[in-house]
Amino acid sequence: MRITVFGATGGTGRQVVRQALDAGHQVTAVVRNAAGLIEQHPALDVVTADVMDPDAITPAVKGADAVVSALGPRSREETTVCSSGARAIVAAMHAAGTRRLVVVTASGHVVDEGDGPVTRAVVKPLLRRYLRGSFADFARTDRIVQDSGLDWTIMRPPRLTDGRSRPYRTAIDRNVRGGFTIARADLARAILVALADRAAIGHSIALGY
Q: Residue-wise pLDDT tens for the chain (209 aa)?
A: 999 999 999 999 999 999 999 999 999 999 988 777 777 899 999 999 999 999 999 999 999 999 999 999 877 777 899 999 999 999 999 999 999 999 999 999 998 988 888 888 888 877 877 788 899 999 999 999 999 999 999 999 999 999 999 999 999 999 999 999 999 999 999 999 999 999 999 999 999 99
Would you kindly state where each structural domain of the chain is located, as residue ranges?
A: 2-208
What's 121's DSSP letter?
I
Q: How many CB atoms lie within 10 A of CB 97?
A: 9
DSSP letter at 176? P
Cα–Cα distance measured from residue 122 to residue 22, given in angstroms and rounded to the nearest whole number: 41
According to the model, what pLDDT value does residue 147 have? 98
Q: Is 113 exposed, middle or buried (0-12, 13-18, 19+ CB in 10 A)?
A: exposed
Which stretch of DSSP H or E encloses residue 68?
strand 66-69
CATH of domain 2-208: 3.40.50.720
Rounded CA separation 8/11 (Å): 8
Q: In whole angstroms, give the CA distance from residue 48 to residue 151.
A: 25
Q: How far apart are CA 152 and CA 203, in angstroms?
A: 7
Helices (H), the chain: 11-22, 54-61, 81-96, 117-118, 124-130, 132-146, 184-195
Identity at 158, one-letter amino acid code: P
pTM, rounded to two decimals: 0.93
